[in-house]
């Protein structure tokens, strides 16, 4: 069985309601993907988090 790779970053959800989520992104964690890194980003991690609640959820970064 394949294990999920360890993600060395954790983030704190500072605020969340049905329309907005605010996190404390740790230093060193990319906000969005680059050509070299697609998955280890705050965008990817928070997308996974909101999709656990509802597969139709989507996020849009409004400040980074």
- CA-angle at 41, arms to 38 and 46, nearest 5°: 120
Predicted model pTM: 0.79
Say whether pLDDT at 1 is over 90.
Answer: no
Dump pLDDT digits (tens) for 5-23.
556 788 999 999 999 999 9
Dump pLDDT digits (tens) for 38-61.
889 999 999 999 999 999 999 998
Query: Helix or strand or coil: residue 60?
Result: coil
- Looking up tokens 């404390």, which residue turns up? 24
Query: Helix or strand or coil: residue 43?
Result: helix
Find out whether 42 and 11 touch, Cβ atoms under 8 Å. yes
């Amino acid at each position: 069985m394949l294990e999920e790779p360890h993600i060395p970053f954790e983030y704190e959800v500072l605020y969340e309601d049905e329309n907005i989520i605010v996190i404390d992104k740790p230093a060193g964690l990319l906000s969005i993907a680059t050509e070299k890194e697609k998955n280890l980003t705050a965008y990817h991690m928070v997308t996974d988090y909101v999709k656990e609640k509802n597969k139709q959820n989507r996020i849009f970064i409004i400040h980074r």
